[in-house]
């Protein structure tokens, strides 16, 4: 087959990956020279632990398996099975972690409740005051700024992959074909649109009732830390934002101790991952009301710095970069992604939300299976 993939973020790139692995030819079209959206502005987390039971968890677990296999073939991804620690600092937070560790699917998620000594043994960089942590051994990480490029280089070596950057698809032409803004028509046996947070223009014309919203976040990255951070790290506010942690214990925590005002206003949690160069990617916020601001707010960064330093028990290295990003989130209950045939032979796949980096390999595999590739 000849497959046309539109969008070179992680979701589009993994669709191209599965098509090539199944023996097909791929033409991959991206409106920028290379991806610049949410796929490069995230933590690089393969985040299994917090996923909702059912389809979401099953997708994340399958994706985690696929990521490990792809990472072995494409070292440039920077895949590492580093696991994560969600650190707790008081008894109310510990109760939530204990409830999570008692879930029927805790073993599948790789959950283990650790005391303070065990937590520091897993991650000696955590020198702040803590009671323990919820360990998730299934979590992993990749390098988001280079992952798509590394995958494209591996795809190009197949001889059946063509990347066309700097071309915006403007129209669907008949069946199985699109026209770009250079006037070129690209025809295949299937077209898959993975346009990320770009929900206007052609996407609106093809799917005017798209059940997807845009979400904005703020993040930052520091200079290299002078020691390893062996695991990904989350604070207990993460319990408030991931469905796996919903429990009476979480309700009790929320009632007894609301988030600080800045964290509540910006719907914040701390996530922290060390990059290959030693720097720390730290975030994040969640903003849902559009239109989004064009600038970034300093108060969330100050809050994140305070929380990160309290867990590390030391000052952070200087912040080198701050940024905002926007991703598309599916609003259909129980759905990991929105997948819709918008024309004969043309499919729109969008809205994985904050699950994009985690789940894209399995989402793309499901598309390939559904389309009979």
Residues 353, 228, single domain; the answer is no
Residues 221, 354, single domain; the answer is no
69 falls within a domain: no
Residues 132, 216, single domain; the answer is yes
26-74 confidence digits (pLDDT tens)? 999 999 998 889 999 999 999 999 999 999 999 999 999 999 999 999 9
- Mean pLDDT of successive 10-residue segments in the chain (373 residues)? 97 98 98 92 96 96 98 97 98 98 96 98 98 98 96 98 97 94 97 95 95 97 98 97 96 95 97 98 95 95 98 98 96 95 96 96 98 93
Domain that holds residue 363: 2-41+145-211+333-370
11 falls within a domain: yes
CATH number at residue 252: 3.30.9.10
70-115 confidence digits (pLDDT tens)? 999 999 999 999 999 999 999 999 999 999 999 999 999 999 999 9
Residues 153, 239, single domain; the answer is no
Residues 149, 279, single domain; the answer is no
Residue with tokens 């069946």: 175
Judge if pTM exceeds 0.75: yes
Residues 364, 344, single domain; the answer is yes
- What gap in Å lies between CA 153 and CA 8, rounded to an integer? 13
- What gap in Å lies between CA 178 and CA 198, rounded to an integer? 17
pLDDT, residue 181, reads 97
Residues 322, 342, single domain; the answer is no
Q: Which residues contact 270 (CB under 8 A, 6 or more apart)?
A: 233, 234, 235, 237, 238, 282, 283, 304, 307, 308, 311
pLDDT, residue 209, reads 94
Look at the chain and report how many structural domains it folds into.
Answer: 2
pLDDT, residue 174, reads 85
Residues 217, 345, single domain; the answer is no
Helix ranges (H only) for 271-355 are: 298-312
Residues 124, 242, single domain; the answer is yes
CATH number at residue 6: 3.50.50.60
Long-range contacts of the stretch 245-252 (C-beta < 8 A, 24+) = 245/50, 245/96, 245/99, 245/100, 247/96, 247/99, 247/100, 248/99, 249/92, 249/95, 249/96, 249/98, 249/99, 250/96, 250/99, 252/92, 252/95
Closest CA relative to residue 29, chosen from 148, 180, 141, 176:
180
């Amino acid at each position: 087959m000849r497959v046309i993939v539109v969008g070179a973020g992680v979701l589009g790139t993994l669709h191209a990956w599965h098509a090539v692995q199944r023996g097909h030819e791929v033409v991959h079209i991206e409106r920028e020279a290379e991806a610049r959206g949410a796929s490069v502005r995230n933590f690089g987390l393969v985040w299994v632990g917090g996923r909702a039971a059912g389809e979401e968890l099953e997708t994340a677990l399958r994706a985690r398996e696929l990521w490990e296999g792809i990472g072995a073939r494409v070292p440039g991804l920077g895949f590492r099975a580093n696991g994560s620690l969600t650190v707790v600092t008081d008894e109310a937070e510990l109760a939530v972690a204990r409830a999570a560790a008692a879930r029927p699917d805790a073993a599948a998620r790789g959950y283990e409740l650790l005391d303070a000594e065990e937590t520091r043994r897993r991650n000696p960089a955590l020198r702040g005051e803590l009671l323990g942590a919820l360990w998730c051994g299934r979590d992993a990480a990749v390098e988001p700024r280079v992952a798509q490029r590394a995958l494209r280089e591996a795809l190009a070596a197949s001889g059946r992959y063509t990347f066309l950057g700097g071309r915006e698809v403007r129209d669907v032409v008949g069946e199985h074909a699109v026209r770009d803004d250079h006037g070129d028509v690209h025809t295949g046996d299937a077209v898959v649109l993975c346009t990320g947070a770009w929900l206007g223009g052609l996407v609106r014309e093809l799917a005017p009732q798209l059940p997807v919203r845009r979400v904005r976040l703020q993040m930052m990255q520091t200079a290299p830390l002078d020691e390893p951070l062996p695991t990904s790290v989350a604070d207990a506010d993460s319990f408030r934002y991931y469905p796996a942690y919903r429990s009476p214990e979480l309700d009790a925590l929320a009632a007894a101790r609301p988030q600080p005002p800045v964290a509540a206003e910006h719907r914040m949690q701390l996530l922290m991952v060390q990059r290959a160069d030693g720097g720390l990617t730290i975030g994040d916020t969640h903003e849902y009301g559009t239109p989004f601001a064009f600038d970034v707010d300093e108060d969330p960064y100050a809050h994140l710095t305070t929380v990160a330093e309290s867990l590390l028990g030391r000052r952070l290295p200087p912040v080198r970069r701050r940024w905002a990003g926007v991703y598309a989130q599916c609003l259909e209950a129980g759905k990991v992604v929105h997948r819709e045939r918008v024309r004969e032979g043309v499919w729109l796949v969008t809205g994985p939300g904050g699950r994009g980096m985690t789940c894209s390999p399995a989402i793309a595999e499901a598309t390939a299976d559904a389309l009979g590739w």
